[in-house]
Amino acid sequence: MASHKRQISKANGKEIDCDVVVIGAGPTGLGAAKRLHQIDGPSWMIVDGNEIPGGLASTDVTPEGFLYDVGGHVIFSHYKYFDDCINEALPEETDWYQHQRISYVRYKGVWVPYPFQNNISMLPKEDQVVAMDGMIDAAMEARVASTKPKNFDEWILRTQGEGLANQFMRPYNFKVWAVPTTKMQCEWLGERVAAPNVKLVTKNVILNKAAGNWGPNATFRFPAHGGTGNIWINVAKNLPKEKTRFGEHGRVQLVDAENKRLLLGDGTTVNYNKLISTMQVDTLAELMRNDELVKLTKELFYSTTHVVGVGIRGTRPERIGDKCWLYFPEDNCPFYRATIFSNYSPHNQPKASVKLATMQLADGSKPVDTDAHAGPYWSIMLEVSESSMKPVDQENMLKDCIQGLVNTEMLRADDEIVSTYHRRFDHGYPTPSLERDGVLKQLLPKLYDQGILSRGRFGSWKYEVGNQDHSFMLGVEAADHVVNGAAELTLNYPDFVNTRVNSERRLVDGAQFFKSMKGIRSSEVPLHAKPNGATANVTDASSTPAK
């Protein structure tokens, strides 16, 4: 990028010049803004059409005082820089609750510990036989296979067999992704789907034992107050307010890539050198009015997510206990996942002293007593997917979900429901479809050639690096690339960043530490420190990953 710094002009409040503009104040956009602020080099600003930052990591509050995240979010991390930033946002020990993941799959009336494929010892005997037969056949066939699986379905069959495929993997993944497993690729899997160890599974079946915790989120933390959204509200608070535009005056109406300018909701024009866009890339193409890009994005598939919340009066029942999130592959409920959101923090629901009226009983009947009464309260958050291949009954979504809770014994028929919540998020999951990588290999470079880095959960459309830590670092690394030309490891090498501790960047680096020391002479700043507060170790992140 040119070294000349274009200063922000406030003339008439209608036109602004800026080196780098960041669109979107979700985790990715905030990551980019945070890094640009730390580097303190080019002029920058961040814009978002929403008043409250957070994007798909926001939290809603019902009129009755129940909190619900935009889907199931927990904090676990692959990056030290991400840890630094959220620890700065919520710095006190009392800001967090630490949790051990307690997760199950509901199958034929039994709670099977997660992951299902490692715990078939908990299944009914006849189902154990079917699962083991398939696993053994798959293991034998895998030994002689000479080609890679062509899709997710083939990967399931090769690693787990026909039995587990039909018992859990196919029905559950269809409920999540809203597309058949045959239409999904398998390159995205990495650490997200457990491949069973046949010897260990056999041993556990014989000894009737459950497998231990698996995966990167076996332990996690959660904000004490304000839900996941509170993290990002506080990250945004640490940015200079004069460089943020949240609300209607930050809504992007038009992207003129040829002339490198944006038109915002209040009529302001922003001229830029580089654009880091974290909005959905299909929306970006439409705002650019670029028919070629719009046509390309039509080949990207995504599912819509419905988040449903149910607030219940009473002490949390013993059968629910301290469960975190639960999976539902069967068709006796519309949701694929349920989170006991009240278990994450006691502040995710009203205090027991708050008096609320009963809206309905879980069986749908009206309560005899309609007066407001005190708690205690607990809550469940549900997720339902929707797509052109999996339509849903939106009108009866809430009713069907509550019935599903009764069907799966999560609720009793006479449980008192005091609050409900339902919100539809059009872009819920970026599907790793068979066509995805071919599209992205054309789409992202075409945008890059026009000075636009499209990054984030739906900006770069890579679910395998779509968690909060990944999303944040996609923005951080985009900022580093714009300013210093550093490699974007998270975007380009998902497997690499997911299998290591990424400590190349820190929020306070050596150069900043020495600059902050009182009375230091400029000649005492280390030779390797970069000017303007830029980090001394940015170039470390651009090294080629080990093969």
pLDDT at 515: 53
Asked if 420 and 445 touch (Cβ cutoff 8 Å), the reply is: no
pLDDT at 525: 33
pLDDT at 66: 98
CA atoms of 45 and 19, how far apart (whole Å): 9
Ramachandran bin of 519, using left for φ above 0, alpha for ψ from -120 to 50, beta for the remaining angles? left
pLDDT at 143: 78
In a 3-state reduction of DSSP, which class is residue 17? strand
| Amino acid of residue 181 | T
Mode of pairing for the β-strands spanning 110-113 and 104-107: antiparallel
Asked if 23 and 221 touch (Cβ cutoff 8 Å), the reply is: no
CA atoms of 443 and 463, how far apart (whole Å): 17
DSSP state of 524: G
Q: Distance between terminal CA atoms of the chain? A: 30
Instruction: For residue 46, list its beta bridge partners.
Output: 22, 244
pLDDT at 193: 60
CA atoms of 102 and 104, how far apart (whole Å): 7
What's the Cα-to-Cα distance from 415 to each of 115, 251, 315, 482, rounded to whole Å?
Answer: 30, 43, 11, 55
Asked if 104 and 323 touch (Cβ cutoff 8 Å), the reply is: yes
Q: Model confidence over 450-473: pLDDT tens digits?
A: 999 999 999 999 999 989 999 999
Tell the burial category of 159 from Cβ atoms under 10 Å away from its Cβ (0-12, 13-18, 19+).
buried
pLDDT at 272: 97
Q: Which string of DSSP letters, residue by residue, matches 115-164? A: SGGG-GGGS-HHHHHHHHHHHHHHHHHHHH--S--SSHHHHHHHHHHHHH
In a 3-state reduction of DSSP, which class is residue 394? coil
pLDDT at 535: 32
Six-digit token string for 320: 């629910």
**Regions in the chain scoring below 50 on pLDDT:** 1-12, 514, 517-547
CA atoms of 327 and 168, how far apart (whole Å): 10
Q: Model confidence over 77-124: pLDDT tens digits?
A: 889 999 999 999 999 999 999 888 788 999 999 999 888 888 888 899
Asked if 425 and 301 touch (Cβ cutoff 8 Å), the reply is: no
Asked if 280 and 28 touch (Cβ cutoff 8 Å), the reply is: no
